[in-house]
Amino acid sequence: MIKEVDLFGVFVPPLLLYAALAGLIWQPLRILLERTGFYRLVWHPALFNVSAYVLTLAAVVAVLM
């Protein structure tokens, strides 16, 4: 079982740190996809962003566990 992480005296669940790391990974990827024009091929960009973030989060959790 993964325990809480002590962050300056505040206990936070590890998923919060994983989500922040996934967000830091996803932002440059999203910018890169915007600049290359990839979103012209996507039917629903907001739905694509959410699903790609969830996949990034799953990859971060899988690697760090």
Query: Can you say whether the dihedral through the CA atoms of 7, 13, 14, 15 is positive or negative?
Result: negative
**Domain ranges within the chain, ordered by starting residue:** 5-64
pLDDT of residue 48: 96
pLDDT of residue 1: 57
Evaluate if residue 2 carries a pLDDT over 80.
no
Q: Please work out, in degrees rounded to the nearest 5, the angle formed at the alpha carbon of residue 27 by the alpha carbons of 25 and 31.
A: 130
pTM of the model: 0.84
Residue 10 CB partners (closer than 8 Å, separation 6+):
none
| pLDDT tens digits for range 34-53 | 999 999 999 999 999 999 99
pLDDT of residue 57: 97
